[in-house]
Amino acid sequence: MNEHGTEHGGQVQPGTEGYGSSAVRLDQGHVQGTGGLPERFEDPGFPPHIHRAADLDEAAAKRAEKQVAALFGLSILGTLVFIVAYFAIPMDASAYIPGIGDANLSNVVLGVSLAFGLLGIGVGAVHWAKTLMPDEEVVEERHPLRSSDEARSGFVKTMMTGGTEAQLARRPLIKYSLGGALGLFALPVVLQVVGSLGPLPKDGLSKTMWKKGDRLVRDPEHTPIRATDVTIGSVFHVLPESIKDSTHVLEDKAKAAVLLMRLEPEAIKVAKERDWGHEGIVAYSKICTHVGCPVGLYEQQTHHLLCPCHQSTFDVTQDCKVIFGPAKRPLPQLKITVDAEGYLVADAPFREAVGPSFWERG
């Protein structure tokens, strides 16, 4: 849809031969200042009022009255049903509701009766207003919002006089010391809140409870895992054994959760990954390096790990490198080995901070 030149200029474009030069283009040209006619249309004022059925016909008005009363009656009925249902329907009763299936009967009946109690009033009142209350529109004049010039200058004068009477300008010492005091008084309040909100992080974000020799145990049963239990294609959700003695289980779990997988050793493409694992069994932090959701979705055929929150995808065959999504860093690997009894144990703590990035992580 291309623009036509005349549209911008508002020029009258004379027609070509046959129709005289006084003819104008009407589809686009904006005709201005044609003598005798007003520049713009004038407001025709209110259109004639059209009466409603209820204004003209008493029978229609009566009908409306009955409808409104019926709606209010429905509301009363709804409220009564609510009261009865509240006492009569046991909390655990369930009923088949078409379109929903088995639902909690108490919830459905209480909600529906409450809705009728409310809608009856609402619809009734609006219907009343629409059919029986006056429907001649009323005009209210607007007045400029700004105060009169006198009022404005009066205000300015009051403020200026007040300032002068307080000798604000004459006594700069007071002015500046007051400014300083007002500027500073909020600090103690802010300091108290901010300073006492929580402890300093120190190395809390960089350390997990994994240490050398810690057995890998199943989440949530806390039972140790033998290397032979982990068949190819398996995935185990793992915690350190010391979680049993933790006093802050959730906080420790939030950092120490680990995913244990077994791949064909030859599928692993990175030597370090193979070295840090045990016969194709590898352990990676389950905490996403994006914003910290647990990355648990392991596809055993493609060896991809997917985070359900923002779809960062990690390739387990490539040391959990990010192959899709918003995360940047690979998931940290936990170096594991087996102890004398054949159980999987951590061979070292995590070498880097797990979870989302932070400024001083480096």
Partner 1 sequence: MSTAAHNASGAERLRANDPEHEAPVGGGLRKVGGVAGWVDDRTGAAKGVGYLMKKVFPDHWSFMLGEVAMYSMIICLVTGAFLTFWFVPSAGQVVYDGSYLPLKGVTMSEAYRSTLDISFDIRGGLIIRQIHHWAALLFIVAINVHMMRVFFTGAFRKPRELNWVLGAQLSMLALVEGFAGYSLPDDLLSGTGLRAAEGFMRSVPVVGSYLSYFVFNGPFPGESIIPRLYAVHVLLLPAILVGLFTAHIVLVAVQKHTQYPGPGRTNDNVVGFPVMPVYAAKAGGFFFIVFGVVALMSALVTINPIWAYGPYDPSPVTAGSQPDWYMGFADGALRLLPGFLEFTAFGFTFSFNVMIGAILLIPIMYGLITLYPFLEEWVTGDKREHHLLDRPRNNPTRTGIGMAGIASYCVLMFAAGNDIMAIKLHLSINDITNMLRLLFFVAPPVVFWVTKRICLSLQRRDRDLVLHGRETGRIVRTAEGRFYEQHEPLDPYTRWHLVQHEQHRPLELESGVDENGVAAPNARSQRLRAKLSRFYFNDRVEPVTPAELEAAHHDGHHVEAIEHQEPGGAPLVEVGSAPAGENPDTTEQRPGH
Partner 2 sequence: MNALAARRRHPAAIALLILVGLLVTGAAYAALAPKPAQASTVSADQVQQGKKLFQANCSTCHGLQAEGSKDGPSLAGVGAASVDFQVGTGRMPMTRPDVQAPRKEKVVFSEEEIAAMGAYVASLAPGPAVPDQEFTDGSKGDPAKGGELFRVNCAMCHNASGAGGALTRGKYAPSLHNVSGKHIYEAMLTGPQSMPVFNDNNITPESKRDIVAFLHSVDKQQNVGGMALGRLGPVSEGLFIWVFGLGIMIGFAVWLGQKSA
- d(C-alpha 115, C-alpha 318), whole Å: 58
- DSSP letter (8 states) at residue 19: S
Shortest Å distance, C-beta 360 to partner 2: 30
HEC secondary structure over 173-215: HHHHHHHHHHHHHHHHHHHHHHHHCCCCCCCCCCCCCCCCCCE
In terms of CB distance, is 238 or 346 closer to partner 2?
238
| Local structure of 154: helix, strand or coil | helix
- Residue 163 binding result from partner 2, partner 1, none, given CB thresholds of 5 to 8 Å by partner type: none
- Residue 114 binding result from partner 2, partner 1, none, given CB thresholds of 5 to 8 Å by partner type: partner 1
Tell me if 316 sits within 8 A of 284, measured CB to CB: yes
Return the bridge partners of 343, or none. 226
Hey, what are 328's tokens? 């940047």
- Residue 302 binding result from partner 2, partner 1, none, given CB thresholds of 5 to 8 Å by partner type: partner 2
- Residue 148 binding result from partner 2, partner 1, none, given CB thresholds of 5 to 8 Å by partner type: none
- State yes or no: cis peptide before 220, omega within 30 of 0: yes
- Residue 77 binding result from partner 2, partner 1, none, given CB thresholds of 5 to 8 Å by partner type: none
> What are the phi and psi torsion angles at 231 (to 5°)?
-80, 165
| Local structure of 303: helix, strand or coil | coil
Shortest Å distance, C-beta 80 to partner 1: 15
Shortest Å distance, C-beta 201 to partner 1: 4
In terms of CB distance, is 205 or 235 closer to partner 2?
235
Contact positions toward partner 2, by CB under 8 A? 50, 52-54, 97, 99-104, 107-108, 111, 126, 130-131, 135, 218-221, 226, 228-237, 261, 264, 267, 294, 296-302, 304, 306, 308, 311, 313, 324
In terms of CB distance, is 12 or 320 closer to partner 2?
320
In terms of CB distance, is 83 or 267 closer to partner 2?
267
- d(C-alpha 191, C-alpha 185), whole Å: 11
Degrees (nearest 5) of the Cα angle 351, 354, 355?
Answer: 165
In terms of CB distance, is 254 or 297 closer to partner 2?
297
